[in-house]
Amino acid sequence: MTTIGLILDLVLAGLLIATVVLAVRLHKKLQGLKGGHDELRLLVEGLNEATRRAQAGLMELRMAAEASATRLGNQVDVARQSTDELALLVASANNLADRLVKVGAPARPAEPSMRGNGGGEPSLLRALRDVR
């Protein structure tokens, strides 16, 4: 029985050594997972911080866009008013020019080349015709 006991003790010792080796390897792998977990936690924290900064930047952009839209809207309103005023001035000037042409237009001679630069035609009427 001593031989069988010795063999069983050796087999048991071999199994214990194998178990210790496997436990050491398992411990190293768990340490690697724990290190990966810490890195992942740091990565998620960095991502959260970047997200907070991006949200703050978006809020600033939104506020700037609203302010720009307000300013641009005011400028568009002023431009429309100016356009309306200019249209009224142009229409008034056209009416005035038409009246001046009807009232003050001298009879045209048969050959305008003999008159030269408009002959006795007032320069204001010439300018108004050129503009129209």
Instruction: Tell me the whole-structure pTM to 2 decimals.
Output: 0.43
**CA count, 13 A, side-chain hemisphere, 5:** 2
Domain boundaries, the chain: 10-104
Cα 82 from Cα 25, distance rounded (Å):
83
CA pair distance 79, 24, nearest whole angstrom: 81
- Alpha-carbon span 77 to 87, nearest angstrom: 15
- 20-26 mean pLDDT: 95
- pLDDT interval class at 55 (50, 70, 90): very high
Q: Using alpha carbons, select from 109, 110, 131, 132 the residue that is nearest to residue 121.
A: 109
Residue 110: per-residue pLDDT: 46
The tens digit of pLDDT for each residue in 70-122 reads 999 999 999 999 999 999 999 999 898 888 888 875 555 544 444 445 455 56
